[in-house]
Amino acid sequence: MTPTRRMLEAALDRRALLQFGAMAGLGALLPHLSHAATRPELMPRVRALVERWVGSGKFPGMVASLGTPGQTPEFVARGSQGFTDADPMTPDTLFRIYSMTKPITGMAAMQLISQGKMTLDQPVHDVLPQFRDMKVQNTYDGSITALHAAPRPITMRHLVTHTSGLGYAIVQSGPIAKLMQQKGLIPGQITRFPITGFARAKSVIGLEAFADSLAQVPLVYDPGTRWSYSMGLDLMGRIIEVLTGKAFDVYLKETIFAPAGMKDTFFQVPRADAGRLATNYGVLQGIFVAIDEGAKSLFLEKPAAPFGGAGLVSSPRDYDRFLRMLAQFGTIDGKRVLSEKAVRMGTSNLLPKGVAGPAIMGPVGGFGAGGRVGLGAEAGIYGWAGAAGTVGMVDTVRGLRSQIFTQFMPADSLALLPEYQAALKADVMALLEKR
């Protein structure tokens, strides 16, 4: 069966918002999880959920984890890496994490700010002059010729919080979406499948060309006025290249991945590790269709660019190390990876004054460096989701982190994530009752 146009066109990041929403509302319960560090099993109901969802006609496999302060996480891994891939699903299985790339890019930007190499409210055009005189659509997703001058410059804050006014090819519609496709502004990859009636545009090659093309496209909102999912973190990758003089992927490896012990996080999966890459499935009316098999994956080839918004592959064990490093304000295994200032800044609410954050299947949240920030009862919560069934979050107040990893698109096609939320809440309540 060939995946439909609608399934694949919408799959990449639009569904990531819904997916992260499955984690919303947990903040009021999470403070008490720190008391569970010595318990033999932290997630009995999540374990049962995973076991219930893995099997014939359901998921081939999945991984969930929960980590408490100073402890290695408890992993629940069941099933195999694909319906035709007998290799077992493990904490070291590789997953396309898509928009869970954004917090990593956001934290890389925060580190440069903490080092004084740029500032949070510095205009982007200081680094990339082509963004100096931006135009804005008079009507959102309307005409691309009826425009007005942007009333203020795009800043670094705007890029990391999705308040730049930049659009997103997987969000916009109408003439501006067509213009983005024509210019190759496709910062992500999904499948090799031909899609009847729809030829997916090819991305421009390299972050420099990407930035140059993006500067030629009108903004969809005035900068600093609205939260609107965007290519801001992809553009931040190019800014990091210019400021550091290093390719973005090299910079991430040298400054975050290697120091944090993240050996399985990359934009291109080494051929030697193809056997650990899970198959990604499109789900249409409950039917699973393999759209990117591990052994033949697009991610085994060099990508058009190391896109900081949706390009990474990682493992549950590796991403937990990233979250644990954040929970410990930049250190892991006694080694400092990011400055404490960078982590505290990136996990705080960085939205411009007067701008509301995303309200997605839960209370309105703030937004930090590439990830949602909890407010009120959820204070301390930071994280984001990926379009193919991955969610990662950290509680910086209590030192906790939680994840679920699957591989299916779109994320709202099945009830897994809402059920996961309920199971996690139930596990927390059970812990509270035993106190």
- Do both 368 and 404 map to the same domain? yes
Q: Are residues 33 and 139 in the same domain?
A: no
Q: Which helix (H) or strand (E) holds 177?
A: helix 175-182
Instruction: Assess whether 400 and 427 both reside in one domain.
Output: yes
pLDDT value, residue 400: 85
Q: Are residues 118 and 190 in the same domain?
A: yes
Q: CA–CA separation, 197 vs 191, rounded Å?
A: 16
Angle, helices 44-53/416-433, rounded to nearest 10 degrees: 160
Task: Tell whether 177 is covered by a domain.
Answer: yes
Are 232 and 175 members of one domain?
A: yes
Is the domain of 32 the same as that of 59? yes
Are residues 208 and 238 in contact, defined by beta-carbon separation less than 8 angstroms? yes
- pLDDT for the residue 316: 98
Whether 277 and 396 share a structural domain: yes
Count the neighbouring beta carbons within 10 Å of the beta carbon of residue 30: 22
pLDDT digits 0-9 by tens, 206-240: 999 999 999 999 999 999 999 999 999 999 999 99
The dihedral sign for the CA sequence 349, 354, 357, 360? positive
Tokens of 175: 């003439």
Q: Is residue 220 domain-resident?
A: yes
Query: Helices 316-327 & 101-114, crossing angle to 10 degrees?
Result: 40
CA 16 to chain centre: 7
Span 161-172, pLDDT tens digits: 999 999 999 899
What integer pLDDT is reported at residue 15 of this predicted model?
40
Tally of CA atoms within 13 A in the half-sphere of 305 that contains its CB: 27
State residue 291 phi and psi, 5-degree precision: -110, -15
Contacts of 334 (CB under 8 A, 6+ apart): none
Q: How far is 435 from 432, CA to CA, in rounded Å?
A: 5
Whether 89 maps to a domain, the answer reads yes
Pick the last residue of a domain from 244, 277, 301.
244
Average pLDDT, rounded, for the chain: 88
Token pair 């400054």 is found at: 255
Most confident of 2-16, 244-258, 388-402: 244-258
- Our measurement of the distance from residue 194's CA atom to the centroid of its chain's CA atoms, rounded to an integer in Å, reads 26
Q: What is the pTM of this model?
A: 0.91
What is the total count of domains within the chain?
2
Residue 184: give its domain's CATH number.
3.40.710.10
DSSP 8-state symbol, 398: T
Tally of CB atoms within 10 A around 289: 18
Show the DSSP H helices in 42-153 as ranges.
44-53, 101-114
- Is the predicted pLDDT of residue 29 greater than 60, yes or no? no
Query: Is 60 exceeded by the pLDDT of residue 28?
Result: no
Taking every pair of C-alpha atoms in the chain, what is the biggest distance, in angstroms?
A: 63
Tell me how many degrees the CA angle 21-180-303 measures, rounded to the nearest 5. Answer: 75
At residue 139, the pLDDT reads 98
Question: Which residues form the domain of 47?
Answer: 5-100+263-433
Residue pair 431/39 in contact by the 8 Å Cβ criterion: yes
Handedness of CA 361, 362, 365, 371 (dihedral sign): negative
Same domain, 157 and 45: no
The string of pLDDT tens digits covering residues 54-79 is 987 799 999 999 988 888 999 999 99
Q: Domain check: are 410 and 267 in the same one?
A: yes
**CA–CA separation, 299 vs 171, rounded Å?**
23
